Amino acid sequence: MCYLVRKIERNKWSCFSEQYLQNNIISSHPITNDLKVDRNNGLSLWEVDISNPTSIDNIALAIASTRSNLKNLDLLILNKSSLDEKGLVMKPTPGNSVFVRLNESHVDLTVIDISDIEKISREMFEIVDDKEYCIRYTENKLIRLFIDKIQAGEISLDNLEESISKKIKKKMTRNMT
């Protein structure tokens, strides 16, 4: 079964999940912040094999590598067939992470109008408080994963943002002493 990963800020959703689950109210705060689409109405998602934890870790690193600052990262894992059933359309669009190999697993969900936003946000509210589907990567966990990839020669420190590589170097120096 295929799953898709979306980067979110958990606090923006969890504060309103009770309101959704009890009264079916979709709060505008998480939607206007975490469901920003590009000029083509595309919402960035990554395909993932949830039976393989490394696959999720790799996506976490791919997303983290596109940011300018290394902070904790929340990933929400969505069931692709459930989105398909709701009539939501996805099209493969290469990602822009430093992991060239992974960029192929990037897709854009086409959010045509407000009803598509509603469909996807309902999916997200349903699972945001479920530990199995909402995964947090702490800053240190991301650093550890980056170090593994650097040592395996899969990525270079030079390709990362300066503020991110600075933190990784600090940790690597600490590990050596």
Contact positions vs other proteins (CB under 8 A): 9-12, 14-15, 33, 64, 67-73, 129, 131, 134, 136, 138-141, 163, 171, 174
Q: Are 95 and 103 in contact (CB under 8 A)?
A: yes
Beta carbon of residue 81, minimum distance to other proteins (angstroms, whole number): 26
CB of 85 to other proteins, least distance (A): 28
CB of residue 149 vs other proteins: minimum separation in angstroms?
Answer: 18
Query: Measured from the CB atom, is 9 or 126 closer to other proteins?
Result: 9
| DSSP element (H, E) containing 15 | helix 10-23
The residue among 63 and 83 lying less far from other proteins, judged by its C-beta, is: 63
Compute the least distance from the CB of residue 173 to other proteins, in Å: 12
Q: Taken in order 80, 84, 86, 91, is the CA torsion positive or negative?
A: positive
| φ, ψ for residue 3, nearest 5 deg | -125, 160
Q: Which is nearer to other proteins, 39 or 131 (CB)?
A: 131
Q: Look up residue 146 and give its two tokens.
A: 């980056």
Whichever of 73 and 83 has its CB closer to other proteins, that residue is 73
